[in-house]
């Protein structure tokens, strides 16, 4: 088989995607983007603010630099890169809560993909012992995270939906699943 280093490298990077996603999830949990929002910070300062080991945090930050979430502007001094802005908790378009939800529920569930394929059963139920919505109901913090995640995603999509379709001829609008009603509110205003 002829070897293409570019293709091989691409597949290697795809195969370590779970490692990168875990680094992004941890950055979201530690609120690193919020800490870097105003100005660059030294790794020691970030470690103190997040109650983490500086050496371990530095390794995490180096991975985040590889994927353009942060930039190392001086030795162990990091700034938030444009991509990292979406991890902030205080900006429009943030996907922090969505990523945290994926970390809490999706990561373990996707780890059981082979089970789903072989058994034809839901891997979420295999991992958590109940349906997703039962889980969200029984775990209020997970339910709140899910609601926040859906709101983050839908706020951006709502604007695009409203711009893409002329709803002026509609006599009746139904927002199925509604959440907090952002789509319906946007269409009615």
What are the tens digits of pLDDT across the range 55-75? 999 999 999 999 999 999 999
Judge whether 115 and 123 are in contact, CB under 8 Å: yes
The pLDDT of residue 172 is: 86
Domain boundary among 45, 69, 87: 87
User: Distance between CA atoms of 97 and 103, rounded to whole angstroms?
Assistant: 10
The pLDDT of residue 2 is: 58
CATH of the domain at 51: 1.10.10.10
Judge whether 151 and 180 are in contact, CB under 8 Å: yes
100 and 73: one domain? no
Domain of residue 168 covers 96-188
76 and 106: one domain? no
pLDDT in tens, 157-187: 888 888 898 888 888 888 776 567 777 888 8
The pLDDT of residue 178 is: 58
The pLDDT of residue 187 is: 80
Judge whether 59 and 22 are in contact, CB under 8 Å: no
Q: How many domains does the chain have?
A: 2
The helix, strand and coil proportions of the chain, stated in percent and rounded to the nearest 5, come to: 65, 5, 30
């Amino acid at each position: 088989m002829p070897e293409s280093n570019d293709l091989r490298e691409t597949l290697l990077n795809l195969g370590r995607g779970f490692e990168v996603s875990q680094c992004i999830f941890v950055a979201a949990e530690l609120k690193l983007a919020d800490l870097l929002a105003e100005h660059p910070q030294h790794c020691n300062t970030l470690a103190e603010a997040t109650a983490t080991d500086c050496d371990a945090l530095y390794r995490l930050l180096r991975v985040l630099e590889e994927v353009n979430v942060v930039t190392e502007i001086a030795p162990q001094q990091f700034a938030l890169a444009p991509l990292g802005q979406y991890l902030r908790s205080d900006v429009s378009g943030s996907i922090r809560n969505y990523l945290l939800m994926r970390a809490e529920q999706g990561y373990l569930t996707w780890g059981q993909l082979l089970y789903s394929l072989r058994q034809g059963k839901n891997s979420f139920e295999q991992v958590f012992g109940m349906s997703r919505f039962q889980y969200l109901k029984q775990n209020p913090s997970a339910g709140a995270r899910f609601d926040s995640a859906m709101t983050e995603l839908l706020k951006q999509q709502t604007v695009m939906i409203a711009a893409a379709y002329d709803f002026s001829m509609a006599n009746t609008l139904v927002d199925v699943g509604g959440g907090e009603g952002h789509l319906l509110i946007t269409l009615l205003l």
